[in-house]
Homo-oligomer: A and B are copies of this chain.
Amino acid sequence: MQEKLNLLKEKMATIWDLSMIGALMGWDQQTYMPPKGAEERGEQMATLSRLVHEMATSDEMGKLLDELVPYAQTLDPDSDDARLIKLAKREYDKQTRVPAEKVAEYARVTTMAQGAWVQARSESNFGLFQPHLERIVELRREYASYFAPYDHVYDPLLDDFEPGLKTAEVQQIFARLRPQQVELIQAIASRPQVDDSFLHLKYDDKKQWDFGVEVATRFGYDWQAGRQDRSAHPFTTSFGIRDVRITTRVIEDQLPSALFGTMHETGHALYQQGIDWKYRRSVLGGAASLAVHESQSRMWENLVGRSRAFWRFFYPRLQEYFPQQLGNVSLEAFYKAINKVEPSFIRVEADEATYNLHIMLRLELEIALMEGSLEVKHLPEAWNTRMKEYLGIIPPNDSLGVLQDIHWSGGMIGYFPTYALGNLISVQLWEKIQQDIPNLEEQIERGEFSALLGWLREKIHRHGSKYEPQELVEKVTGSKIDPQPYIRYLNTKYRDIYGF
């Protein structure tokens, strides 16, 4: 049986290598590829995907797993081998249950839909996108049906991003979160506004870049195992555990953009760089889930990067970079500005206090679409109603509303909740870290992050994708994903800033 297991590992290593190669192609496409290279690159991507799919769904793979799954049940369920077989089986099922012609149709439909979405958004014309989204919703419901029986039609979609998590769990979490966040925002709205105009002066591109590099270096990002480049939308990607790259976008009159973007991507990258080397080239060498990934990026961006302690150390440095713009701005004024709360239309620009509400709105709409209780044609109306209810504002057009995100056009229904769950997990971990490292704040004030990173490495990073997200969070914090710590965090932080 050991021989069969080795064969499985070998096959998975090949698939892994090809996925990493695909990631390199994607990185190049978004950073350096000349425009005319797109067509041939597309053909090459298709060839690679086809080969990976053939390998991952081969009869040989199926037979191997048929023999290994019962064998796994004889092993310690927490052993690497048992987990590896379980994950391999999971992947195999995901890839084989859906008929090939459906996979191909989905690829065609979403490719078309993305083009239509770009146009619809630029013209703020939902009608152009509507038929595409209708077909996508149908296909996603069909997709779910291949994984029946399920508790909820949304479960199979969610499971693609958050292994093991159920719709009911997410709904419960959000039901507890929503009223408290809405209440908080209303309290803030009644207080005087914070001035953040100085964040929108002209900040030299190169200096912004250099400051970001300094921060990432301090955080512990290993530049010998990664690099930073520019791209239109910031992202993190990896071609192995020791080649984890980040990108950033510098906007000269928006200091927060590159600043927090770099911290965010560095958070993702630290996770990837911290995965145990022994898991490389295997299905255990990924991350636990998107939400856990997001908990890392949001922790470094918000819990560290938007804290007073952090800026006690870094603000004098930032002032050295930008004496003209910030020389006369106090630390306190700067701290308040980067934490300004303001209900706004666009999710990716939202502050910590309002962000999750953007997500809840999307989750509710996605579930309603999947359940069939909401028709696509009524989506803009449903969007605006909820915006009014949660954030008190109504988008003036659909570009600033229902058409703002790319996700649905790519068929990614089930993805949005991971953003909010990441926020929640980040603070759950943070409370535990504060217990384990009592002088954490003092360390941060001295620009020291090695104990924090060490904790994350030990508790989260090194495990790769061995544990499911709920399992990992419980293992580390003692409870499953829980909104209470996040609520506590927001209340403490904003009562202080807004004085109520």
Residues of chain A touching chain B, judged by Cβ–Cβ distance below 8 Å, are 13-14, 17-18, 20-21, 24-25, 28, 32-37, 39-41, 43-44, 47-48, 51, 222-227, 229, 239-243, 245, 280-281
- Expressed in whole angstroms, the Cα–Cα distance for A281 and B281 within the complex equals 29
Contacts of A33 in B (CB 8 A): 243
Q: A239-B37, A243-B37 are in contact. Are A43 and B17 (CB under 8 A)?
A: yes
In-complex Cβ contact of A243 among B21, B36, B240 (8 A):
B36
Is the CB–CB distance between B225 and A36 below 8 Å? yes
- Expressed in whole angstroms, the Cα–Cα distance for A283 and B41 within the complex equals 17
Closest residue of chain B to A225 (Cβ to Cβ) is B36
- Expressed in whole angstroms, the Cα–Cα distance for A14 and B51 within the complex equals 9
Is the CB–CB distance between A34 and B240 below 8 Å? no
Nearest chain B CB to A6 CB, angstrom units: 16
* 20 pairs, CB–CB < 8 Å, chain A vs chain B: A14-B51, A20-B40, A24-B24, A28-B28, A32-B229, A34-B223, A34-B224, A34-B226, A34-B227, A34-B245, A36-B222, A36-B225, A36-B243, A37-B240, A40-B239, A40-B243, A40-B280, A40-B281, A41-B239, A44-B240
Q: A24-B24, A44-B20, A48-B17 are in contact. Are A37 and B281 (CB under 8 A)?
A: no
Contacts of A224 in B (CB 8 A): 34-36
The count of identical subunits is: 2
Is the CB–CB distance between B281 and A43 below 8 Å? yes
Closest residue of chain B to A22 (Cβ to Cβ) is B21
Q: A40-B241, A41-B240, A41-B243 are in contact. Are A14 and B47 (CB under 8 A)?
A: yes
- Expressed in whole angstroms, the Cα–Cα distance for A35 and B222 within the complex equals 11
Contacts of A41 in B (CB 8 A): 239-240, 243
Contacts of A24 in B (CB 8 A): 24-25, 28
Is the CB–CB distance between A40 and B227 below 8 Å? no
Is the CB–CB distance between B47 and A18 below 8 Å? yes
Nearest chain B CB to A8 CB, angstrom units: 16
Contacts of A243 in B (CB 8 A): 33-34, 36-37, 40-41
Is the CB–CB distance between B240 and A40 below 8 Å? yes
- Expressed in whole angstroms, the Cα–Cα distance for A227 and B32 within the complex equals 8
Is the CB–CB distance between A225 and B37 below 8 Å? yes
Contacts of A51 in B (CB 8 A): 14, 51
Ranked 3 nearest A-B pairs via Cβ: A40-B240, A37-B243, A17-B47
- Expressed in whole angstroms, the Cα–Cα distance for A43 and B282 within the complex equals 13
Is the CB–CB distance between B17 and A242 below 8 Å? no
Nearest chain B CB to A55 CB, angstrom units: 9
In-complex Cβ contact of A40 among B14, B34, B226, B242 (8 A):
B242
- Expressed in whole angstroms, the Cα–Cα distance for A18 and B240 within the complex equals 19
Since A21-B25, A34-B226 are in contact, a sample of 7 more A-B pairs with Cβ atoms closer than 8 Å, ordered by chain A residue number, is A17-B44, A18-B44, A32-B229, A34-B245, A37-B243, A40-B280, A51-B51
Contacts of A40 in B (CB 8 A): 20, 239-243, 280-281
- Expressed in whole angstroms, the Cα–Cα distance for A40 and B225 within the complex equals 11
Closest residue of chain B to A242 (Cβ to Cβ) is B36
Is the CB–CB distance between A44 and B28 below 8 Å? no
Nearest chain B CB to A35 CB, angstrom units: 5
Closest residue of chain B to A223 (Cβ to Cβ) is B34
Is the CB–CB distance between B34 and A21 below 8 Å? no
- Expressed in whole angstroms, the Cα–Cα distance for A64 and B241 within the complex equals 41
- Expressed in whole angstroms, the Cα–Cα distance for A243 and B25 within the complex equals 13
Contacts of A44 in B (CB 8 A): 17-18, 20-21, 239-240
In-complex Cβ contact of A242 among B32, B37, B47, B229 (8 A):
B37
Contacts of A32 in B (CB 8 A): 227, 229
Most B CB atoms within 10 A — which of A28, A36, A223, A226?
A: A36
- Expressed in whole angstroms, the Cα–Cα distance for A242 and B37 within the complex equals 5
- Expressed in whole angstroms, the Cα–Cα distance for A21 and B42 within the complex equals 11
- Expressed in whole angstroms, the Cα–Cα distance for A34 and B223 within the complex equals 7
Is the CB–CB distance between A225 and B48 below 8 Å? no
Contacts of A242 in B (CB 8 A): 34, 36-37, 39-40
Nearest chain B CB to A278 CB, angstrom units: 13
Nearest chain B CB to A331 CB, angstrom units: 35
